Amino acid sequence: MEDWIYILNPNKDTLDGEPSDKETVRRLAHEEPELDLWLSRRNHMSEGDRLWFFFSAPQSAVAAVAQIDGVPYENAEDPEFSYRVEVTLLPEATDALYGSPVSREELGLGQVRSVQKVKSEVLPMLLARAGL
């Protein structure tokens, strides 16, 4: 199992036309937890991996988590967002992270890319804050 950080910029990114802020993602975790997300490139994700949502604004922190439902696939019909991955938000873990987010400093993030692997030394902290 791998753990990935998925960067969301609430000022630029949307989820089905809604702002991609932590309040929206938390609500979706309870109301519509299945998401189809775009990737800038095909990552080597597998079914069962976890995707940790890092919100870049207003506070830079991880405040939601999902399970990956399948391997990323190519979407030839949309060249702007050519790769997609299906995930399911984890409501209880997202609630826990919403209440106690993991900051950028705690994650030790340097350069922020759209998707990157979680550093092994911070995974125990993410799991603990999410109650997993």
Question: Given this model, what pLDDT does residue 67 score?
Answer: 98
Torsional sign, CA 131, 49, 117, 84:
negative
Evaluate if residue 121 carries a pLDDT over 90.
yes
Question: Given this model, what pLDDT does residue 80 score?
Answer: 75
Other C-beta atoms closer than 10 Å to the C-beta of 52 total: 23
Question: Given this model, what pLDDT does residue 46 score?
Answer: 94
Question: Given this model, what pLDDT does residue 2 score?
Answer: 96
Give the whole-angstrom CA distance, residue 121 versus residue 123.
6
Question: Given this model, what pLDDT does residue 49 score?
Answer: 97
Tens of pLDDT, residues 66-86:
999 999 998 888 777 778 999
Question: Given this model, what pLDDT does residue 43 score?
Answer: 76
